[in-house]
Chains A and B, each alone.
Chain A
Amino acid sequence: MRALSYLLITSMKNAFFQLVKKPVMLIVGIVFAGIMLMSMIFGGSRAGSVSLDLIRAGAFGLLGFIAYNTVSKGLKQGSTFFSMPDVNMIFTSPIRPQIVLMYGVIRQMGVSSMATLFMCFQIPNMRNLLHLKALGIFALISGWFFLLLVSQILSLCAYSLTAPYPERRRAGNIVMYGLIGLIALALIVYLAANGGQMKAVIDFFGLSAVSFFPVVGWINAYIFGLINGDIVSAVLFLLLTAFFPALCIALVRRTNSDYYEDVLQTTEMRYNMRQALKEGKAGAKNMNLRARTGKSGLMGKGRGASVFFYRHLTEQRRTGRLLLDFSSIIVIVIAAIGGIIFRNLTQSGQMKPIEMQIIAVSALSYTLYFMTMTGKFTQELNKPFLYMVPESAVLKLFYSNLSTVVKSLLEGAIAFSIIAALAGLPVWYIPLAAVLYATMSQMYISISILTQRIQGGANSKILGAFLYLICTGILVVPTAIIFGVLQAIFYFSNQNLLFISYLATIGYNLTISALVLFIGKGILKDANT
């Protein structure tokens, strides 16, 4: 263990000194810590009254989704706690595999802790919306940490115990989907017996029997046990949560000390993806997708610049995701949760429909800010074809972005339909909000092009992110102002004309995006700019 503790301690020590040596990183770190501290002390003055039962149901859904996603990925393609240097230097050294596995778990605890840090930003909301005290906040944050850690451990164990045996893998899938089917069936039966109202759904997740649903139910029971002051129950469910992964690890240790192969492929894949991302290689994000070749040939009839759009469609078809991807699922889930919260708030008279409309469009457009940077266009810029094809630069920019914009349109149509249906918003809102959302996607892409045009050959991620932020401020703030001012004017003059504020904002976005495309077309002059 001496070598492994040396490795962990030295890595941590060097990470700290790196932070001190690089002032930019240090400043970013201090700003980050400052924001987090400020948000803990001053953040969120608005007191709300989202019911704890609703949060319990929502938490069950969110925890369940993350656990399912992690464990099913583990069953399909494996999971790993390890890095490529671990494979090259630790797996081949005379250290016992059982000790190496423990090192992996400790390392994973560190990774989960970092992922939990971001939950601290939500402390003001936990305090003000849920009226949680210190113990309750601790419960939510620690519950999140346990879920991340336990689902990763289960994912690795599930793969390690089932990978070499197809029949075991089938059994693993049957158990996982059987459990999901069981809770779905129980929910349907409960709804049928209790009138099928939304309240019944919320009540269902408060039943003590649901607390015994493996891992997700236990962690939820731990969290809400602490929040409700039922410490004994919380501790018991925490022990159950800790015992189960420990049992799985013990099982792996006893039955499969030869687990290196089980993590090797995933580790290599993750390493290659990270390297490709670091080097800015195209398609890095798609490296771990399973692609089916299927029908040969590009979809559609694209020629010239439009061929980029059809190529993107063909690639999407091969990964079996049509135009929607994981980020779309996140947006749709956010929309569904938001729709339920909006409905409760309007029913209790705390929010007006117009506020909901504005918040929904603004919040989802805000999420696009983070998602557009990783779209198809960014990948396209790292391949030579966009520069080489003898077509108009503006058309090439347009078509290489089209799949992202169409994706946003589809995503928006689904998300705003859900919100409108749940919160009872007018039908005209759905297409207008979806188009506005799609034009916001085009705006962010245009800003990305502009940023790269300004940056030229300087390949600095920090400078790039800074310029992107500045350009977003300059170009998107007017979007918000136009939208906000027109909404206010029509709200007080004639509410039947509220749709004009959407049309005007869409018009502004399209005009600015087109202008930026013309300004930024020089980006395709050569691969260095």
Chain B
Amino acid sequence: MLIVSNLTKKYGSTLANENLNFSLDSGEMGVLLGPNGAGKSTAIKCIMGLLRFSGNIEINGLNNKSEAAKRIMGYVPEIPALYELLTVEEHAEFIIRAYRLNKSAEAYADELMVRLELDDKRKKLGKELSKGMQQKVSIMCALLPRPRMLLLDEPLVGLDPHAIKELKLILTGLRDKGTAIFVSTHMIDSVEGLWDKAFIMVNGHIVATRDRKTENAGEHGSLEDLFFSITEGRE
């Protein structure tokens, strides 16, 4: 579903991502771990087609910047910015129109609002919502087009425990239905037990990759151990 080949991104003379290569199949959840400033958000933005880069990114065989690719992608940004003068349900309406979704999307929007505890905030404007609530609306907007490739940049920041639990349930449900999910985070324990592939990124490079399918249980210790052994230089 997602193939990233030789992805390199420079900001002027600063190298944010260098020669990244990884892939994700349908029904897999990949996690991109790394310390602050490692280049995780840049990689996600490149995949979402927001930045120019060298290399190649394919979504289900399509160029990631094509309209066809965007139609099957969902994105939860790091900064959950909403339209200040649109209510929660109008955000859903906007996404339904932008992605040309059919009537069934309205029912799905209702379902998501209930699951994310946004139901009683339907008529609230974007500017009236707390940071956590804005994050939930942002998640709803990303899920509404039923994307086959979902990218989430630090999705758990600002969420309450119930929302974290619900989001994890939603993500595992989507994965089981064949959606490829790619999550960038520095909260390792939040994704422990959920991931199929893990990529550890330091200074713009992927320095370690783990694939749950190809390794025996507990063979390499926990993800946290691997992360700290790399980022803190421990053996």
Which residue of A4, A11, A94, A261 is within 8 Å of B85 (Cβ)? A11
Indicate whether B125 reaches chain A with its CB closer than 8 angstroms. Answer: yes
Q: Which residues of B contact A83 (CB under 8 A)?
A: 81, 83
Q: Which residues of A contact B98 (CB under 8 A)?
A: 3-4, 89-90, 93-95
Chain A CB within 10 Å, residue with most, of B65, B98, B100, B138 = B98
Indicate whether B73 reaches chain A with its CB closer than 8 angstroms. Answer: yes
Over the window 252-264 of chain A, the binary record of Cβ atoms lying under 8 Å from chain B Cβ atoms (1 yes, 0 no) is 0000001011001
Indicate whether B196 reaches chain A with its CB closer than 8 angstroms. Answer: no
Indicate whether B48 reaches chain A with its CB closer than 8 angstroms. Answer: yes
Which residue of B86, B93, B97 is within 8 Å of A14 (Cβ)? B86
Look across to chain B and name the residue whose beta carbon is closest to the beta carbon of A258.
B52
Q: Which residues of B contact A11 (CB under 8 A)?
A: 83, 85-86
A45→B82 CA distance, assembly (Å): 47
Q: Verify B49–A88 contact, CB threshold 8 A.
A: no
Indicate whether B186 reaches chain A with its CB closer than 8 angstroms. Answer: no
A270→B77 CA distance, assembly (Å): 17
Among A66-95, those with CB < 8 Å from B are 83-85, 87-95
A18→B83 CA distance, assembly (Å): 14
Among B128-161, those with CB < 8 Å from A are 138, 141
Which residue of B51, B80, B87, B99 is within 8 Å of A261 (Cβ)? B51
Q: Verify B71–A10 contact, CB threshold 8 A.
A: no
A3→B95 CA distance, assembly (Å): 8
A93→B68 CA distance, assembly (Å): 10
Q: Verify A85–B85 contact, CB threshold 8 A.
A: no
Q: Verify A94–B68 contact, CB threshold 8 A.
A: yes
Look across to chain A and name the residue whose beta carbon is closest to the beta carbon of B45.
A264
CB within 8 Å for A2 and B97 given contacts A14-B85, A18-B85, A92-B75: yes
Q: Verify B51–A264 contact, CB threshold 8 A.
A: yes
Q: Verify A3–B94 contact, CB threshold 8 A.
A: yes
Q: Verify A88–B75 contact, CB threshold 8 A.
A: yes
Q: Verify B73–A92 contact, CB threshold 8 A.
A: yes
Q: Verify A89–B94 contact, CB threshold 8 A.
A: yes
Look across to chain A and name the residue whose beta carbon is closest to the beta carbon of B98.
A3
Indicate whether A15 reaches chain B with its CB closer than 8 angstroms. Answer: yes
Q: Verify A84–B50 contact, CB threshold 8 A.
A: no
Over the window 65-108 of chain B, the binary record of Cβ atoms lying under 8 Å from chain A Cβ atoms (1 yes, 0 no) is 10110110101010111110111001101110111100000000
Indicate whether B30 reaches chain A with its CB closer than 8 angstroms. Answer: no
Q: Which residues of A contact B81 (CB under 8 A)?
A: 83-85, 87-88, 271
A150 to chain B, nearest CB (A): 27
B106 to chain A, nearest CB (A): 14
Over the window 9-37 of chain A, the binary record of Cβ atoms lying under 8 Å from chain B Cβ atoms (1 yes, 0 no) is 01110110010000000000000000000
Which residue of B70, B85, B93 is within 8 Å of A92 (Cβ)? B70
CB within 8 Å for A10 and B99 given contacts A88-B75, A91-B50: no
Q: Which residues of B contact A258 (CB under 8 A)?
A: 52, 65
Indicate whether B39 reaches chain A with its CB closer than 8 angstroms. Answer: no
B98 to chain A, nearest CB (A): 4
Indicate whether B27 reaches chain A with its CB closer than 8 angstroms. Answer: no
Over the window 157-182 of chain A, the binary record of Cβ atoms lying under 8 Å from chain B Cβ atoms (1 yes, 0 no) is 00000001000000000000000000
CB within 8 Å for A164 and B52 given contacts A11-B83, A85-B82: yes
Q: Which residues of B contact A6 (CB under 8 A)?
A: 93-94, 97
CB within 8 Å for A94 and B70 given contacts A14-B87, A258-B65: yes
A88→B142 CA distance, assembly (Å): 10
A54 to chain B, nearest CB (A): 43
Indicate whether B126 reaches chain A with its CB closer than 8 angstroms. Answer: yes
A5 to chain B, nearest CB (A): 9
Over the window 8-41 of chain B, the binary record of Cβ atoms lying under 8 Å from chain A Cβ atoms (1 yes, 0 no) is 0000000000000000000000000000000000
Q: Which residues of B contact A3 (CB under 8 A)?
A: 94, 97-98
Look across to chain A and name the residue whose beta carbon is closest to the beta carbon of B67.
A94
Q: Verify B79–A260 contact, CB threshold 8 A.
A: no
Which residue of B45, B70, B82 is within 8 Å of A93 (Cβ)? B70
B34 to chain A, nearest CB (A): 20
Look across to chain B and name the residue whose beta carbon is closest to the beta carbon of A7.
B94
Indicate whether A315 reaches chain B with its CB closer than 8 angstroms. Answer: no
A24 to chain B, nearest CB (A): 16
Among A418-469, those with CB < 8 Å from B are none
Q: Verify A92–B95 contact, CB threshold 8 A.
A: no
Q: Which residues of A contact B87 (CB under 8 A)?
A: 14
CB within 8 Å for A260 and B49 given contacts A6-B94, A6-B97: yes
A85→B98 CA distance, assembly (Å): 13
A278 to chain B, nearest CB (A): 9
Q: Verify B125–A14 contact, CB threshold 8 A.
A: yes
CB within 8 Å for A85 and B75 given contacts A6-B93, A91-B50, A92-B50: no
B57 to chain A, nearest CB (A): 13
Look across to chain B and name the residue whose beta carbon is closest to the beta carbon of A96.
B67
Q: Verify A89–B52 contact, CB threshold 8 A.
A: no
Over the window 89-105 of chain A, the binary record of Cβ atoms lying under 8 Å from chain B Cβ atoms (1 yes, 0 no) is 11111111000000000
Which B residues lie at the A interface, using CB under 8 A? 45, 48-52, 65, 67-68, 70-71, 73, 75, 77, 79-83, 85-87, 90-91, 93-95, 97-100, 125-126, 138, 141
Some 13 contacts from A to B, beta carbons below 8 A apart, are A11-B83, A14-B87, A85-B83, A85-B126, A89-B91, A89-B98, A91-B49, A94-B68, A95-B67, A164-B52, A258-B52, A264-B50, A271-B81
Besides A92-B70, A93-B98, 19 other A-B contacts (C-beta < 8 A): A3-B94, A4-B98, A6-B93, A10-B86, A14-B86, A15-B85, A18-B85, A83-B81, A87-B50, A87-B81, A88-B77, A88-B79, A89-B83, A89-B94, A90-B98, A93-B70, A258-B52, A258-B65, A261-B52
